[in-house]
C-alpha cells in the first residue's frame, strides 16, 4: 500500500475529463495537497490521470467516498452525477469542491446547501472565473468605490460550439440540466451576484438557433432588475463564432470593463474609465494580464486554506445557490413569457 502523507490534503478527483485533469494538476502541484485517487466511469481517463501523478484509480466514485484516507473530493463529472456523489461525500464529512454548476437545477443546489450546512466538510463550488485577475481586481475597485454607485451591468459570454455538440453530455438535458444558460451562463450569474447581488426580477428569451439541441438553448438573452434601480443584461451564446468574454459594470462615476480570459478568449484586460464630469471623454487606464490562466491554481490555494484555517472562500454553498436562483428565474421567464420575481 502506498505511504500516505499525513501532512497534505489527501484528495480524490472524480471525473477526469477536461476539467478533472486540470484540477488533478493543481492538486498535485500544491505543496499542501496530494492527489491519491482518480475516478472516472471510463477507464482510460482515470488511469491516464492517475499514472501522470502517481495516484491510484477506479471507475466507481463510491470508493472515494468510503475511503477514510481521503480528506477532499473534487467533482468534475457531468452535472447530473454531481448530486448523488456530493450528498454521499458530505454525509461522510469529506471536503468538497464541486465544479459549477451546483447540480442540475435550483432544487438540487438548495438540497446540497442544506446537506453542506449539516456536514463537517467545507463545501465549495468551483467558480474559477472569480479568480481571474481582471475580475477579482474589478471587484476590489468596485468595493473601493472607484466607479461610484452601480447603475448597470452588461455581460456577454460565449463560444462557437462544435460539430457533433448535440452528441455530448452538455446537450443531453438529462445529463446537463440545461443548455448554454446553465453551462457558461452560471458563471455570469455568479459574477452578477458577486458584483451586484441577486436581482429582484428576471426576464429572458432563449433561442435554439444553430445546433440541433432543442429543447436546449444555444443562446440566452436575459434582463435583470434590482429594486435599487440597477439593471443588468446578459447574453450567453454557443454561436459566438469568435470566443468572447465581456463583463462591464457601469457606475455613476465611471466604468469597469473586463475583456477576455486569455487563450481563445483573447488577452485578459481590465479597462477603468473615470467619468469626466465636465463632459467629454473619460480618463482611461488599462491593465493587461498576460500569461497562462492561473485561476485554477489560485482557487485551489484558497480551498486548501479554507480547509486548514477555516478562512473565508468564494463559491460557498450560498454563492452556488444564488447563481442557480438567477439561472432558474431566467429559465422560468423564458418558459412562461413573463417577468419572474426572485423571491428571497
Ligand X SMILES: NC(=O)c1ccc[n+]([C@@H]2O[C@H](COP(=O)([O-])OP(=O)(O)OC[C@H]3O[C@@H](n4cnc5c(N)ncnc54)[C@H](O)[C@@H]3O)[C@@H](O)[C@H]2O)c1
**Minimum distance, C-beta of residue 101 to ligand X, in the bound complex (Å):** 6
Nearer to ligand X among residue 11 and residue 77 (C-beta): 77
Nearer to ligand X among residue 13 and residue 249 (C-beta): 13
Rounded to 5 degrees, what are φ and ψ at 110? -65, -40
Residue whose beta carbon is closest to ligand X: 17
Q: Is 226 within 8 Å of 344 (Cβ atoms)?
A: no
**Minimum distance, C-beta of residue 279 to ligand X, in the bound complex (Å):** 41
Q: Is 94 within 8 Å of 65 (Cβ atoms)?
A: yes
Nearer to ligand X among residue 147 and residue 321 (C-beta): 321
Closest CA to 184 of 224, 220, 223: 220
* Other CB atoms within 10 Å distance of the CB of residue 298: 17
Rounded to 5 degrees, what are φ and ψ at 126? -75, 100
Complete edge-to-edge strand list for the sheet that includes strand 72-75: 56-58, 33-39, 9-14, 72-75, 95-99, 123-126
**Minimum distance, C-beta of residue 110 to ligand X, in the bound complex (Å):** 18
**Minimum distance, C-beta of residue 273 to ligand X, in the bound complex (Å):** 28
Closest CA to 192 of 184, 303, 317: 184
Q: How many residues does the structure list for the chain?
A: 344
113, burial (CB in 10 Å: exposed 0-12, middle 13-18, buried 19+) = buried
Footprint of ligand X (CB under 6 A): 14-20, 39-42, 45, 61, 76-79, 81, 99-100, 126, 128, 169
Measured distance CA(197)–CA(190) in Å, rounded:
9
- 17, 41, 185, 197, 218 from 14: Cα distances, Å: 9, 9, 23, 31, 27
**Minimum distance, C-beta of residue 275 to ligand X, in the bound complex (Å):** 33
Nearer to ligand X among residue 173 and residue 282 (C-beta): 173
Nearer to ligand X among residue 78 and residue 133 (C-beta): 78
Nearer to ligand X among residue 69 and residue 167 (C-beta): 167
Nearer to ligand X among residue 65 and residue 340 (C-beta): 65
**Minimum distance, C-beta of residue 8 to ligand X, in the bound complex (Å):** 23
Q: Is 85 within 8 Å of 115 (Cβ atoms)?
A: no
Amino acid at each position: 500500500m502506498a505511504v500516505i502523507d499525513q501532512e497534505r490534503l489527501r484528495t480524490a478527483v472524480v471525473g477526469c475529463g477536461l476539467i478533472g485533469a486540470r484540477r488533478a494538476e493543481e492538486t498535485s502541484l500544491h505543496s499542501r495537497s496530494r492527489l491519491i485517487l482518480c475516478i472516472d466511469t471510463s477507464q482510460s481517463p482515470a488511469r491516464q490521470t492517475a499514472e501522470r501523478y502517481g495516484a491510484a484509480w477506479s471507475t466507481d466514485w463510491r470508493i472515494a467516498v468510503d475511503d477514510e484516507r481521503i480528506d477532499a473530493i473534487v467533482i468534475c463529472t457531468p452535472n447530473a452525477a454531481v448530486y448523488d456523489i456530493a450528498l454521499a461525500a458530505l454525509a461522510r464529512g469529506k471536503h468538497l469542491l464541486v465544479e459549477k454548476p451546483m447540480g442540475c437545477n435550483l432544487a438540487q443546489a438548495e438540497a446540497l446547501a442544506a446537506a453542506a450546512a449539516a456536514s463537517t466538510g467545507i463545501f465549495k463550488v468551483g467558480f474559477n472565473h472569480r479568480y481571474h485577475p481582471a475580475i477579482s481586481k474589478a471587484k476590489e475597485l468596485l468595493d473601493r468605490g472607484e466607479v461610484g454607485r452601480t447603475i448597470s451591468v452588461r455581460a456577454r459570454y460565449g463560444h462557437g460550439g462544435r460539430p457533433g455538440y448535440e452528441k455530448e453530455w452538455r446537450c443531453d438535458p438529462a445529463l446537463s440540466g440545461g443548455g448554454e444558460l446553465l453551462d457558461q451562463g452560471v458563471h455570469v450569474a455568479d459574477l452578477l451576484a458577486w458584483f451586484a447581488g441577486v436581482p429582484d426580477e428576471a426576464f429572458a428569451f432563449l433561442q435554439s438557433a444553430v445546433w440541433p439541441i432543442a429543447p436546449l438553448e444555444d443562446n440566452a438573452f436575459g434582463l435583470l432588475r434590482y429594486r435599487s434601480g440597477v439593471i443588468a443584461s446578459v447574453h450567453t451564446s454557443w454561436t459566438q463564432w469568435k470566443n468572447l468574454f465581456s463583463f462591464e459594470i457601469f457606475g455613476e462615476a465611471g466604468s469597469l470593463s473586463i475583456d477576455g480570459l486569455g487563450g481563445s478568449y483573447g488577452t485578459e484586460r481590465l479597462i477603468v474609465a473615470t467619468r469626466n464630469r465636465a463632459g467629454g471623454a473619460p480618463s482611461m487606464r488599462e491593465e493587461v494580464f498576460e500569461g497562462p490562466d492561473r485561476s485554477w491554481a489560485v482557487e485551489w490555494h484558497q480551498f486548501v486554506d479554507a480547509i486548514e484555517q477555516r478562512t473565508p472562500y468564494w463559491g460557498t454553498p450560498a454563492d452556488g445557490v444564488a447563481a442557480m436562483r438567477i439561472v432558474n428565474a431566467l429559465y422560468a421567464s423564458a418558459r412562461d413569457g413573463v417577468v419572474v420575481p426572485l423571491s428571497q
